[in-house]
Structure 1
Amino acid sequence: MSAQGAAHKETPKETFYRQFQGTVANLQEQINHLANLSAVAGERHDTIEHILTGISRLSNEVADAADYVPAYDQRTYSQALKQLTDQLNEAQAQFRPKSRFQFKRRNPPSGGDAMADRKNDARYMLPAGGQDKSSSPSAVTAVANANGSKLSSEDHKDSLSNLPSVPAKNYNEEIAKDSTDSRVRKPSFSTARDITLSDHEKLHIILPLSASRATSAGALTNMKGCIVDMSVPTRVCAGGAPFASLALKNISGSLIVAGHVDGPVHITGLRDSKVLVVARQVRIHECENVDFYLYCASRPIIEDCKGLRFAPAPKFHSADKDESTNMWDQVDDFKWLKAEHSPNWSVLPEEQRITEDVWKDKVPGHPGAGLDDILSTVGIGAEA
C-alpha cells in the first residue's frame, strides 16, 4: 500500500454519509420487523416511538451538517428520510383495525331517470309559471334582495364573528387520559398558542416539531418523576422556533430538556432533577440538589438555593452557539455577598456529567428502555 493511500483520512462528509446510511438501514430493519412484534404490553408501540425518534434525530443531524454537506446531498438525505417516514406510515396502516361500518356511495341516476327524480322531488318544485333559478349565478343575490337585505362584505364578516368559538384543546387532559400502555406521550400542541404542561407523574413527554407553533411561551409546573424533552420544536436548525420565555416550577425527580429560549428562563422550586437549557438569561430560585447543563449568554442568577451544580450544555444541543460566549460557570448568588465562593453552587466534575452519547441516544428513548431506566442512566433515583 502506498504512503499516500495509508495517509487517507475520512472527511466529515464521508463520515456523515456512512453513519447516515447505517442508521437508515437499522431503522428500515425495525420497520420491516414491526409485524412480528406483539401489540400486547406496548412492545410494538414502543418500537414505533423509537423509530419516530430516530427519524427526528436524523433530520436534526442533516440540518446540523449544513456546514460540510452540499445542498444537493442535503436534499438527497431529506428525500431518504421522507421515504423512511412513508414506509413507517404504510406499516402502521396495516395494524389499524378496519372500520366495521362504511357508507355506500349511491350511483347517481342517469338520463331520463335523473330528470324524473328531480321532477318528483319537492326541493325542485316551483310555483306555477315560475322559473328555476337555482342554477343561476345570481340566485343567492336574488334571495338576498327578496329579503330586502343584500349582504355586504362587512355583513358577511359580522355573521362569521357571531359564530360560536371552538373551545381550545386541553393537551394536559389528553396526556393524562392516554389509554396506551406506554408512558411516552407526544402532544402536538398544533392548535395552541403556548405550551403548558402541569400535574404529571412518571411520564416521558416528547414534543414533536408541530409544537413549534406554540413557543410564544412555555411553562412546566408540578411534575414528578418525568422526562420532558422540548428540544425539537425549539431548534431553528430543525425548522423550529425558540421559546420567547420559559418557566419551570415545582418539579422533582425529573429530567427536563428545555431546549432553546430566546428570552428569560425562570426556574423555581426544583428538587433532585437535571435540567438542560440554551437561553439568553437564567434565573433560579429556591432549588435544591439540581444539575444544570447550560448555554447562557448572561451570568446565571441563583437565589435561596443549595446543592446546585453547573456544566456546559452538550454540543448536540448547542451546536449553533458560540462556546466562547457561554457564561454557564459565572454564576451570581444574590444571597451570598461575601468575597469567597458561594457554597450553594459548584461546577459539576467532568467525570460525573451526562455524556454526549447519552443525551443523543439514551434520553430520547429506545426499545427495551423504560422511563425508570433512562432516569437511572442520568443519575436520578427511582425513589425521587
Structure 2
Amino acid sequence: MENEPPNPTQEEALDSDPALQKKHQSMLDRLTHRHQSRLDTTLTRRAAADSSDPSPSFESTSAFLSRFSTSKSSVDSQLDQCRLTDPAHLKPHLDQISASISDLEKLVAENSYFLPSYEVRSSLKTISDLRQTLENLSAELLPKKKFSFRNKGAKKTEPKEKENEKEPEKMEFIVPASPGIWNKKGETLVRKFQCSEVGEFTISDLDSCEVRLMGSVRALFVHRLRNCRVYTGPVTGSVLIEGVEECVFVMASHQIRIHNAKRCDFYLRVRSRPIIEDSCGVRFAPYCLSYNGIEEELRETSLDEETENWANVDDFLWLRAVQSPNWSVLPENERVGLIDISSSQES
C-alpha cells in the first residue's frame, strides 16, 4: 500500500491531459455563454416592461392582471363620460372607446399563451361586458348609427288590452356602424384595404357568396352567413362570428370567437385559442391564404408565425375533461390547398 502512487489532483490531471483540459475549457465556455444569455434575456424583458408598448408580453399573471385592471379602469372612465360629452364630439369619443376595448382584447390575445384558462375566460367576459355597454350607449345616444337584426320576425301589434304585458326577451345582434357588406346572394365580393384604412368591418346576411378581404382591419364582425366562403387577411384585434351555417372561413387574427356555428370549416392563424359556443360540427385546420403582400402584412401585425392554436379550441359550454364533441381537426385529405386570391378585382 505504501508504494502506490498518490491520486493526482484535478489541476494535475488537467495539466497532464490536453484532451481533458480542452473538454474542461469547453464546459466553462458553455456555462459562460448560458449565463450571458440569461442576463441578456433578463435585460430585454426589463426593457420591454419599461417601454410604451400598449400590449407587452408579461409572462407573469400578476403583472398582466395589474395592467389589465388599469386599462379596464380607463375604459370604464371613458364610458362614464359618454353622457357628458358634447354631441358634436360624441362619435369620435365612442370610436376611441371601441379602439381602447380592441387594445384590451389584443392584450389578452398576446398574453393568453401563459395565462391560466380561468384568467383568460374571466378577461374575455370582462371585455364582452365592456363591448356590450358601449353598444348599448351607442344605440341610445346615436340611434341612427346602429342597425338591429333579430333572430325572429317582429311580432304583430298586440291588442291594446295586452300592451302592458311583458314581451319575451329576444336575442339580438347589434351590427356596428362600420364599413361592411350586407344582404347579398350568389356574389363574389372583393375588398382591398390600405394600411390603417379601416378600423372595423362587418359582413352580414349573406347567402351562397364568396368574400375576399385583402389588407388588414382592426376588428371583423361576421353575422348570419349561409353556404359562404370568407377569405381574409390579418385582423389585428378580434373576429366575432355569429349565426353561420355550411361555410368555410380562412382567417388570421389575434383572437377569434365563434357563436352558433353549424357544419363550418375554419382555416385559422390565431395568437390565442379559438373560442366556440353553442356550435356543432365545426372543424379546424391551419391558415392557407395567399395574395400579393400578405406576408408583409402578417409580419406587421405579428401574425407571421404559426402558433398551432388553430388546433387548441375552447368550447365554453363543454366543461368535461375530455375533448368537446362539437369540434374536430379537419382531416388532411379533406383540406383545401393553398388559396391564392392575388388576381381578384375589387367589386
Q: Which has more strand, going by share of residues?
A: 2
TM over 0.5: no
Q: TM-score if structure 1 supplies the norm length? A: 0.39
Q: TM-score if structure 2 supplies the norm length? A: 0.43
Bigger-Rg structure (1/2): 1
